[in-house]
Structure formats: structure tokens, C-alpha cells
A = this chain, B = another copy of it.
């Protein structure tokens, strides 16, 4: 059986929990509390020398990092990752968008607001994070006005990757009320078979 190492309250880690639930696959989950530095233990650093979660470990000991790469590995050969070259690359397009233009603003704003003290200097970056995060949400909204899912006509791992931090964007100070197509998409993701919620997120 494979092992996944992660912190359940992290959207990047939740992506993998959601995928595995929807694929009805069993796995061993090892909770790694990065707020207590468990990601910097010698044992963890042998798996990922940058101390980042999540990490996938196969039975033979091979390891992989980067949540969206792990999603691609685990979804291969399933309905959640298209085989057809164009559709597969469009799925990747949105997953690169998520890591470059979405997570660094929407997830980071959530982290600062939920986990850092009221007087922390990083709170001074929230206005800028909000502006860039709203640009990302606006791009998603325009896409969803044309197509039902990020990969096109079908629910894929691109939806899983984007759902993780979008559905808790309000934790970061974003108002999803201004993005009706995103709100509807969030409802439709929650209706997918074997959906599981993120631990600690509002239902």
C-alpha cells in the first residue's frame, strides 16, 4: 500500500485525500504537523530534503513531492486524468495556473490570516495578495462561464487541484459572492461521487 505524508489542514495535502477517496483506493496516511516542525525531522528530510508536504512513498521506498505531480501519478489510467493528449495538457495548464497564479496568493492569504498573529508584519502583504488572488478568481470565473470543468467537459484532477484552496478562499479574505460560476462549480465538485471534505473546513 502507498503512504501519503501530509498535514490535513493544508489544501495541497487535502488534494490527495480527495483524489484517493474518489478513486476508492486505500492508503496509509501519516500526519505531519509542520507547525511543530515534524517536516524537518531527519526521517522526513530523507524523503524530501526541502521539508515540504505532501510526500508520496511507494512500497519500494521511492518518494515523490509536489502535490500536482502526485495527483498526476495517482490518477494515471483513471477517468480523472484524460489520456487524449490535448485534454491531458489542458488539465496540466490549469494545474500550472493553480501553482503559479492561484496558490501563492489565495493559499498564502489564508495562511497569514488563520495562523499568524494580528501584529505579524506579513499581514502588510494581504492587500497585494488579495489583488492578485482576485485576478486568479476572475480568470477561473471567465473559464467556467464557457465550460463546466477546468479540463473541459469532464471533472478531472485540475478541478481537485483548484478546489482545494478555492473553496476555503473566504478564510483568506476573498468574497466568492462576486464569482457565481465559481460558487456553482464548488457545489458541483461537492456533489461528485465519494467527495470528502477538508478537515477543518466549513461544510
A residues at B contact (CB < 8 Å) = 49-50, 62, 64-66, 68-70, 72-73, 76-77, 85-86, 88-90, 92-93, 95-97, 99-101, 103-104, 135, 139, 142
- How close is A58's CB to chain B, nearest CB, in angstroms? 8
- How close is A181's CB to chain B, nearest CB, in angstroms? 14
Query: Which one, B73, B85, B86, B93, contacts A66 given CB within 8 A?
Result: B93
User: A85, B76: Cβ atoms under 8 Å?
Assistant: yes
- Majority secondary structure, A binding face: helix
Residues of B within 8 A of A86 (CB): 62, 64, 73
**Which of chain B's residues has its CB closest to A99's CB?**
B100
| Complex Cα spacing A69 to B98, Å | 12
| Complex Cα spacing A95 to B68, Å | 10
User: B62, A97: Cβ atoms under 8 Å?
Assistant: no
Given contacts A49-B139, A49-B142, A50-B139, A96 and B96 within 8 Å (CB-CB): yes
User: A66, B96: Cβ atoms under 8 Å?
Assistant: yes
| Complex Cα spacing A96 to B68, Å | 7
Q: List 17 A-B contacts (CB under 8 A).
A: A62-B86, A64-B90, A65-B93, A65-B97, A66-B92, A66-B96, A66-B100, A69-B90, A72-B89, A73-B85, A73-B89, A73-B92, A95-B96, A96-B96, A99-B99, A100-B100, A100-B104
| Complex Cα spacing A50 to B140, Å | 11
**Which of chain B's residues has its CB closest to A52's CB?**
B101
